[in-house]
Amino acid sequence: MSMLIGRRLLAGAAAVLAAPGLALAQGAVNLGVAIPTATHSFTAAIVWWANKAKADLEAAHRELKITVKTAANAGEQANQLQDLVTANRINSLVIFPFESGALTRPVVQVKSRGVYVTVVDRGLTDTAAQDAYVAGDNSAFGRVPAEYIAKALDGRGNVVALRGIATTLDNERMDAFNAVLKNYPDIKLLDARYANWNRDDAFRVMQDYLTRFRQIDAVWAADDDMAVGVLRAIDQAKRMDIKLVFGGAGAKGMIRTLMDGSDPRIQANVSYSPKFMYDAIKLTAEARLKGERLPPTTIIPSVLITKENAKDFYFPDSPF
């Protein structure tokens, strides 16, 4: 009799010990994060914030597992999505698409497997492929520089623009920029070409602009990394006609230059912090742990940065 009671006690104890593990299995969130590799400082910060989110959130939630994968191109990212589903068996995904069009179908396939999908920053061409979208205000990112440039030029002059990668967000930014310039018929947009948010590509695009156009009054670089390449090309060509170079996203080097006034061509910026990667992962993980869904769209404001408020956007410890 005592042996039977002992066995029952052991069985009961085993059930109690197993219960947390069972709850973990049933309520666990296995979250995949798919992002571009660190090809420039902004994506370096995206990677940094993603890994920080993994460390912070896994420490806070033992029932959460996060797998971060970085890709050098759209094809590699599409393959990684398949690995996340089949090998890592994710049930949630946060993706910063390398490109919008190329990644839409692969994400549709992931979602069709029952995976909850949050898309960050670079939207897909079919919003039905996502459950939630988190990004900065891309319309403001294009509108704010256009308004500033138009005012700085007193409504008259020649402007060139450098675009990023062919994505929905780049289209939103360019459309907003053009919409403002339509109100200023004496400002001529000479050209707008893709420079892939890359310093070297921006340097080459700007070299071409400098060769083709004898008078350029302002440049919308549309990214602080591209602005670095633009400035290098201008300095190398020793061109003195360009009075304003407007980048974007608030890289610490540009904000520092804005604060100390060391380059008169850098007069303003527009916020677009890569920290939204951390925020998107945190929002998604914590919502899924509760069995909840995010709002369809979460937009983080993009605002004008000037010398007067630059200190509020200066983060010296960030990789961006």
Strand partners, 246: 220
DSSP for 140-198, written as a single string: HHHHHHHHHHHHHTTT-EEEEEEE-SSSHHHHHHHHHHHHHHTT-TTEEEEEEEE-TT-
Q: What is residue 23's predicted lDDT score, i.e. its pLDDT?
A: 34
| pLDDT single digits (tens) 233-257 | 999 999 999 999 999 999 999 999 9
Domain residue ranges in the chain: 11-136+274-300, 138-270
* pLDDT higher than 90, residue 307: yes
What homologous superfamily does CATH list for 138-270? Response regulator (3.40.50.2300)
**Sorting pLDDT into bands at 50, 70 and 90, what band is 167?**
confident
CATH of domain 11-136+274-300: 3.40.50.2300
Q: What is the CA radius of gyration of the chain?
A: 24
Judge if 11-136+274-300 and 138-270 fold alike in CATH terms. Answer: yes
Sheet of 116-120, strand order: 64-71, 29-36, 92-95, 116-120, 132-136, 297-300
d(C-alpha 145, C-alpha 34), whole Å: 30
- Of the listed ranges 8-17, 90-99, 186-195, 225-234, the least confidently predicted one is 8-17
| pLDDT single digits (tens) 170-190 | 999 999 999 999 999 999 999
**Sorting pLDDT into bands at 50, 70 and 90, what band is 141?**
very high
More confident residue, 135 or 106: 106
Q: What is residue 222's predicted lDDT score, i.e. its pLDDT?
A: 95
Task: Indicate the Cα dihedral angle 214, 220, 224, 229, nearest 10°.
Answer: -20
Percent of the chain's residues with pLDDT above 90:
81
Q: What is residue 20's predicted lDDT score, i.e. its pLDDT?
A: 32
Q: What is residue 166's predicted lDDT score, i.e. its pLDDT?
A: 87
Amino acid at 171: N
d(C-alpha 169, C-alpha 135), whole Å: 9
Mean pLDDT computed over 37-55: 91
Q: Is the pTM of this model over 0.85?
A: no
Residue 55 CA to its chain's centroid (Å): 19
* pLDDT higher than 90, residue 144: yes
**Sorting pLDDT into bands at 50, 70 and 90, what band is 315?**
confident
Using alpha carbons, select from 148, 145, 137 the residue that is nearest to residue 302. 137
Mean pLDDT computed over 128-154: 96
Strand partners, 34: 69, 95
Residue 104 CA to its chain's centroid (Å): 17
* pLDDT higher than 60, residue 18: no
* pLDDT higher than 70, residue 22: no
Mean pLDDT computed over 196-201: 94
Using DSSP's 3-state secondary structure scheme, residue 124 falls into coil
d(C-alpha 205, C-alpha 226), whole Å: 10
Helix intervals (H) in the chain? 2-27, 41-60, 74-86, 100-111, 138-152, 168-181, 199-212, 224-237, 252-260, 276-289
